[in-house]
């Protein structure tokens, strides 16, 4: 794996690869890689001549009370996983923001409700960093997980509205054997909380067979021990929910007819 830390160097390499007729697949991540990330990486590996993964814990998508400081950063482990998965380039910038950075990408329709209510400014940070990463890496295809459904929708809209020449490819959520959606934040859960968190995928899966899935989930989730409801919404054919288990906020969703 070639590690690049300088955005200008990354952009130069991508330009050269494209001039040479290569296709570039891109998987942006915040690191602490798990099998969900690896599914995106494997898919991108199979479909593109060159595979670029980024690891960047983007400060602008964290709220002031959120977990930016303690977000896991196991770089050596991530590097070994990238090596094993056939990643060509790991783009790992120190920062993507000048001290006087003052330009933001604000999607004004989808970035309301759901996670945007609890995390004001989150999608502004996401949209800005994703557009910046796409401008640096210039991929033909970029891979995202449906685990973050609202994020996928915002990015699809941003790429369409601003004519970004990258195809966005969303892939379905990868889960642990017991059903919990894999997430870097699962590491925060104590063993008891980890068990309590199973209510989220289990009840989501139960809800999609109910006549009123949203109402059913809003009723049943708060009754689960250790679980505090943030939201339940059905949007664009997906039933989406967020809960707190202890201090950890977890999101999940399933396709819902």
Is 92 known to be catalytic? Answer: no
Exposure b/e, 76-87, CB count within 10 A at least 16 = b: eebbebbeebeb
Q: Determine, following the binding rule CB under 6 A, whether residue 145 of this chain makes contact with ligand AMP.
A: yes
Q: Determine, following the binding rule CB under 6 A, whether residue 128 of this chain makes contact with ligand AMP.
A: no
Give the shortest CB-39-to-ligand AMP separation in angstroms.
6
Touching ligand AMP, residues 30-49 (CB under 6 A)? 30, 36-37, 39-40
Please list the alpha-helical segments (H only) found in 163-224: 191-196, 199-207, 213-220
Question: Whose structure tokens read 């990258």?
Answer: 166
Q: Determine, following the binding rule CB under 6 A, whether residue 93 of this chain makes contact with ligand AMP.
A: no
CA distance linking residue 157 with residue 240, whole number of Å: 19
Count Cβ atoms below 10 Å from residue 102 Cβ, excluding itself.
6
Q: How many residues bind ligand AMP (CB under 6 A)?
A: 17
Q: Determine, following the binding rule CB under 6 A, whether residue 184 of this chain makes contact with ligand AMP.
A: yes
Stretch that binds ligand AMP, among 28-36, 72-80, 85-93, 231-239 (CB under 6 A): 28-36
Q: Determine, following the binding rule CB under 6 A, whether residue 88 of this chain makes contact with ligand AMP.
A: no
Question: What six digits make up the tokens of 62?
Answer: 């964290």
Question: What six digits make up the tokens of 152?
Answer: 């996928």
Phi-psi region of 212 (alpha: psi -120 to 50; beta: other; left: phi over 0): beta
> For residues 212 and 231, is the Cβ–Cβ distance under 8 A?
no
Q: Determine, following the binding rule CB under 6 A, whether residue 148 of this chain makes contact with ligand AMP.
A: yes
Give the shortest CB-215-to-ligand AMP separation in angstroms.
27
For strands 24-29 and 50-55, give the pairing: parallel
Partnered with residue 232 across adjacent β-strands are 241
Q: Determine, following the binding rule CB under 6 A, whether residue 168 of this chain makes contact with ligand AMP.
A: no
Q: Determine, following the binding rule CB under 6 A, whether residue 182 of this chain makes contact with ligand AMP.
A: yes
- In terms of CB distance, is 41 or 216 closer to ligand AMP? 41
Q: Which residues bind ligand AMP (CB under 6 A)?
A: 29-30, 36-37, 39-40, 144-145, 147-148, 171, 173-174, 181-184
**Residues with active-site annotation:** 37
């Amino acid at each position: 794996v070639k590690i690049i830390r300088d955005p200008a160097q990354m952009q130069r390499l991508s330009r050269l690869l494209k001039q040479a007729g290569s296709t570039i697949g891109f998987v942006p991540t915040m690191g602490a890689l798990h099998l969900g990330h690896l599914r995106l990486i494997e898919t991108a590996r199979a479909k593109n001549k060159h595979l670029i993964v980024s690891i960047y814990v983007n400060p602008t998508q964290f709220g002031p009370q959120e977990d930016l400081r303690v977000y896991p950063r196991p770089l050596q482990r991530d590097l070994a996983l990238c090596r094993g998965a056939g990643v060509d380039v790991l783009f790992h910038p120190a920062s993507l923001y000048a001290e006087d950075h003052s330009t933001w990408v604000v999607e004004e329709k989808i970035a309301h409700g759901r996670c945007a209510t609890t995390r004001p400014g989150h999608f502004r940070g996401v949209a800005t960093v994703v557009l910046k990463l796409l401008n640096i890496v210039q991929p033909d295809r970029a891979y995202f997980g449906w685990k973050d459904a609202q994020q996928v929708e915002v990015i699809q809209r941003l790429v369409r509205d601003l004519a970004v020449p990258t195809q966005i490819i969303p892939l379905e959520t990868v889960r642990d054997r017991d059903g919990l959606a894999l997430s870097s934040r699962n590491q925060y859960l104590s063993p008891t909380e980890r068990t309590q968190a199973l209510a989220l995928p289990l009840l989501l899966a139960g809800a999609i067979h109910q006549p009123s899935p949203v109402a059913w989930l809003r009723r049943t989730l708060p009754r689960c021990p250790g679980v505090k409801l943030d939201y339940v919404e059905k949007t664009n054919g997906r039933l989406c929910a967020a809960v707190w288990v202890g201090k950890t906020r977890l999101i999940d969703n399933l396709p819902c007819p």
